[in-house]
Amino acid sequence: MRSSKQLTSLPHQFTDRLDHFRCQLSRYLQSQDADTIHDFRTSFRRLQATYSIYPPVARSNAAVEYLQLARQLFKLNSLIRDCDIMLDKLDHHGPGADPDRNRLTASLLKRRRNQEVAAMEAAQQLARLSPPTLSADKRALRKRLRWRIRHRVQSILGHIPRIVADPSNSEALHNMRKQTKKLYYLLELAWGQNRRARMTKIKEIHTVAGEIHDCDVTIQYLNDCSSLLENGASLIDRLNTERQFYSERLLGLLEGIDWRSLQREV
């Protein structure tokens, strides 16, 4: 954990991250390209992590409403990102003149446009809301930050045995990936730049797990769209090979962190 002097900035972190989130929201309203969506999603994760350390009694109705709508917009953009990932996978693995791939691409682009319409409506509604304010006792925030970090680590430890036993377990892997992302943004609050090497390892875990998730999403989509495919088996085989590569890498990364020690450090 950081020094007590550094931790006094915790009450200001929500405001700072909220300001950054609103800047990213303004960018998003101008353009929904892949980079803008990525930056928007990252800013929301940081804001959500800070919000999570506030006791429920300290969360105003305005803050609850704001975060709920922001979460809805985040989820819509997750679907848009999935479309972008699948389009990229199809472009990378599929032959350029394949009519099957062209039909799938058209279907994905239509799905993306539909999600964009819903996301833009939510973004405009969110932009009209006044930014909420929160206040809480500094000691309470420090206590909840430590509790949140330990809770996230415990959740990760609960998923790891299932992933080791069955690397194809997409549900366990996806849940573990979400927990490592949340842990990372909490550790930013707790450690700042003091433990950058440790945080880099955790970030690498959720990055590699994200590569696996992208393969899983694309494989599931191809299976669901089998009626549009005549020869999709080879494409799925290539994606499974890619997934296997990242799975082996992930298992090594998970073994390289002393999770129990991390719990004690906070």
CA dist 5 to 2, 84, 150, Å? 8, 43, 22
Domain count, the chain: 1
Helix (H, G, I), strand (E, B) or coil at 222: helix
pTM over 0.85: yes
Rounded distance, CA 86 to CA 218, Å?
5
Give percent above pLDDT 70 in the chain: 91
Q: For the residues 248-253, what does the mean pLDDT come to?
A: 95
Q: For the residues 229-247, what does the mean pLDDT come to?
A: 85
Query: How high is the pLDDT of residue 3?
Result: 42
- Residue 2: pLDDT band with limits 50, 70, 90: very low
∠ CA 171-173-176, nearest 5°, is 110
Is the distance from CB of 114 to CB of 83 less than 8 angstroms?
A: no
Least confident span in 47-61, 99-113, 140-154, 157-171: 99-113
Query: How high is the pLDDT of residue 8?
Result: 41
The type of residue at 185 is Y
- Residue 164: pLDDT band with limits 50, 70, 90: very high
Q: Tell me phi and psi for residue 259, to 5 degrees.
A: -65, -35
Residue partners of 121: CB distance under 8 A and separation at least 6? none
Tokens of 81: 């990102």
Is the distance from CB of 257 to CB of 201 less than 8 angstroms?
A: yes
Query: How high is the pLDDT of residue 155?
Result: 95
Structural domain of residue 56, as residue ranges?
Answer: 4-265
Is the distance from CB of 213 to CB of 225 less than 8 angstroms?
A: no
Cα end-to-end span (Å), the chain: 5
CA dist 213 to 16, 145, 170, 171, Å? 31, 28, 7, 10
Query: CA neighbours within 13 Å on the CB side: how many for 239?
Result: 28
Q: What CATH number should be reported for the domain holding residue 29?
A: 1.40.20.10
- Residue 233: pLDDT band with limits 50, 70, 90: confident
Residue partners of 134: CB distance under 8 A and separation at least 6? 14, 51, 54, 58, 59, 60, 63
Residue partners of 211: CB distance under 8 A and separation at least 6? 242, 246
pLDDT digits (tens, 9 = 90+) for 126-158: 999 999 989 888 888 999 999 999 999 999 999
The yes-or-no verdict on residue 13 having pLDDT over 90 is: no
Is the distance from CB of 189 to CB of 144 less than 8 angstroms?
A: no
Tokens of 231: 């020869």
Query: How high is the pLDDT of residue 231?
Result: 62
∠ CA 125-26-145, nearest 5°, is 85
Q: What is the 8-class DSSP label of residue 131? A: P
Rounded distance, CA 148 to CA 160, Å?
19
Residue partners of 145: CB distance under 8 A and separation at least 6? 10, 53, 186, 189, 190, 266
Higher pLDDT residue, 224 or 81?
81
Q: For the residues 184-191, what does the mean pLDDT come to?
A: 90
Query: How high is the pLDDT of residue 197?
Result: 79
Q: For the residues 59-81, what does the mean pLDDT come to?
A: 95
Query: How high is the pLDDT of residue 223?
Result: 86
